[in-house]
Structure 1
């Protein structure tokens, strides 16, 4: 073990969507400390330009390195990964850095009909990085790509209310129905889409609605678990895994937002079962 082993892992997203990745990271690495930043004050990234997203990525990574001395950084946002991860690696060459991308390769392995659907933000699905990933799988499956304008933002907004509120759930369901309805038939019949890639970390928190709309036979593929495994591999290579003997609890997680505090507290309580005291605001 080296001296960095007890330092936290940094994680960030444009908002609360990356909490789905943090959830997977905590399951894979229960002995680690985490600092998560939700850039909700500048969301949604998916409808911004690359230069804006890159500037936010650099501001956040600089903050996490300087103020929290992170030992690794997980960019838990498809849009930020596509727009800025190459620059972030140049900017922080010493830092193990993991990005996320739509899980097309696992989807190709999972599909039985050979038809894969991909939903994501316009920023992610229109990026050169995504185009290269798609081209690398040419001939291995048929892909139907659907930008979902407004869906990540609707999921983000839903955290402003108690989990029993129905207005936001109705909006999220309507958007999911609209976009999946535009993609063509789902199911196990020949030519139907039997595998759907959730190409935005926010969408994991709409998977119950998607499951209800699409039925039990359509596989939903997210990126949290592969990202968590890759983070473990990089930390092992760097001899930087934490050495605690027992899993750490809620106090091992610090969560910041550049937006309103209450929605973040609602989100971490609802989805990660973390107490409100874990959360605070930051001006960044």
Structure 2
């Protein structure tokens, strides 16, 4: 990442903003906290307007920009993480144009590690319809389509179902079976192209079998770490604060529950 103008004025104790359309971004929040436990984190989920995966491009852009502006007003942010594949695809460029003095980091489907894991592999990409529709995904897929067969599957309704919790109920397995069941035995790995999906890895394995799964949380967290280290803005305290916000306040206890849910 190029050094951004004004980045060196950031204070180590300032908050990192982590944004998602709902509970899914907590999977990225987990990864950031694990890698950088001393950082102060402010997670905001726009659960009132979730899911973003089936909204128009313009709606996703406006919702994302509004949410980040409100987050930055509440806690002056030293970095922004868009922990939503759809919002990243739709709005990360606009955010970088607006917030030129701090790192703005998005997430993308983890196609690279999946493609490198096995030669001539067949990769199932689970994502929202919007993520798969937008140019950012097509450009990413073109980079790796010579080394792997890439099968994109729009998972209609899955993020919304995960938002509801009760992930051990049979209707979730039924939904996954409808969405990805036909690919059992036909793919070598799965890319979880929505930050909600890591919370149902076990259920996906029930449908597809025990095959490798890849998501972007680690790569996003590592990129954030490198950006903060480069500008000497890593917080060296022992344990940082985690602040939660939501456009639907009764969802905050659910975010905290997911934060304490191990992703296997």
Q: 1:269 deviation in Å? A: 2.1
SS in 1 for 2:24: coil
In the alignment, what sits opposite 1:83?
Answer: 90
Alpha-carbon separation, structure 1, partners of 2:160 and 2:10 = 40
Does residue 207 of structure 2 align to residue 213 of structure 1?
yes
- When the two structures are superposed, what TM-score results if normalisation uses the length of structure 1? 0.85
Structure 1 residues 270 and 199 mapped into 2: Cα distance closer, same or farther (>3 Å)?
Answer: closer
Q: 1:271 deviation in Å? A: 3.5
SS in 2 for 1:32: coil
Q: 1:64 deviation in Å? A: 1.8
Alpha-carbon separation, structure 2, partners of 1:54 and 1:24 = 25
Does residue 239 of structure 2 align to residue 247 of structure 1?
yes
Alpha-carbon separation, structure 1, partners of 2:57 and 2:254 = 30
Alpha-carbon separation, structure 2, partners of 1:55 and 1:156 = 22
Q: 1:67 deviation in Å? A: 1.8
Kindly indicate whether the alpha-carbon contact (under 8 Å) linking 1:113 and 1:193 is maintained by their aligned counterparts in 2: no
Q: 1:138 deviation in Å? A: 2.6
Alpha-carbon separation, structure 2, partners of 1:92 and 1:271 = 28
In the alignment, what sits opposite 2:247?
Answer: 258
Q: 1:203 deviation in Å? A: 0.5
- Matches for 1:27-176 after TM superposition, within 5 Å: 27-111=34-118, 114-158=121-165, 163=166, 169-176=169-176
Alpha-carbon separation, structure 2, partners of 1:3 and 1:90 = 18
Alpha-carbon separation, structure 1, partners of 2:42 and 2:259 = 16
Kindly indicate whether the alpha-carbon contact (under 8 Å) linking 1:111 and 1:195 is maintained by their aligned counterparts in 2: no
Kindly indicate whether the alpha-carbon contact (under 8 Å) linking 1:48 and 1:123 is maintained by their aligned counterparts in 2: yes
Segments of 5+ residues of structure 2 without an aligned counterpart are: 1-7
Which of 211, 216, 221 is matched with 1:223 structurally?
A: 216
Alpha-carbon separation, structure 1, partners of 2:77 and 2:27 = 20
Alpha-carbon separation, structure 2, partners of 1:100 and 1:257 = 20
Over residues 70-122 of structure 1, what are the superposed CA-to-partner deviations in whole Å (9 max), with x where a residue is unaligned? Answer: 10000000000000100100011111011001000011012356111101000
Q: 1:266 deviation in Å? A: 2.8
Aligned residues: 254
In the alignment, what sits opposite 2:230?
Answer: 237
Alpha-carbon separation, structure 1, partners of 2:139 and 2:258 = 36
Segments of 5+ residues of structure 1 without an aligned counterpart are: 187-191, 274-284
Alpha-carbon separation, structure 2, partners of 1:178 and 1:47 = 18
Over residues 130-163 of structure 1, what are the superposed CA-to-partner deviations in whole Å (9 max), with x where a residue is unaligned? Answer: 01111122311001110000000000022xxxx5
Measured on the aligned residues, the alpha-carbon RMSD in Å equals: 1.6
Q: 1:171 deviation in Å? A: 2.2
Kindly indicate whether the alpha-carbon contact (under 8 Å) linking 1:10 and 1:70 is maintained by their aligned counterparts in 2: yes
